Amino acid sequence: MSEERIEQAVQRIEAALARIAESAETMRPAPPSVSGLVVRHENLREVASNTLKELDELIERLEE
């Protein structure tokens, strides 16, 4: 690779890093609320429980 191409690649990388840094500074997601996390946890727990029940039923049918 020629020096010129290497320099261009480095410049592109530096420009990309600058854009990433700028984006990271301007994008501040709001912290999740505790109540929202509790609701999400309960929903995931219910889905997991239902999925395990379905798997148990499928295993029982296979064993018949």
Cα distances (Å, whole numbers) of residue 32 to 4, 36, 52: 47, 7, 28
Residue 54: pLDDT over 90: yes
Distance, CA of 20 to CA of 45 (rounded, Å): 36
Average pLDDT over residues 36-58: 93
**1 pLDDT band (50/70/90 cuts)?**
low
Q: What is the pLDDT of residue 19?
A: 92
CA-CA distance, 48 to 64, in Å (whole number)? Answer: 25
- For residues 52, 54, 59, 64, the Cα torsion angle rounded to the nearest 10 degrees is 150
* Residue 15 pLDDT greater than 90, yes or no: yes
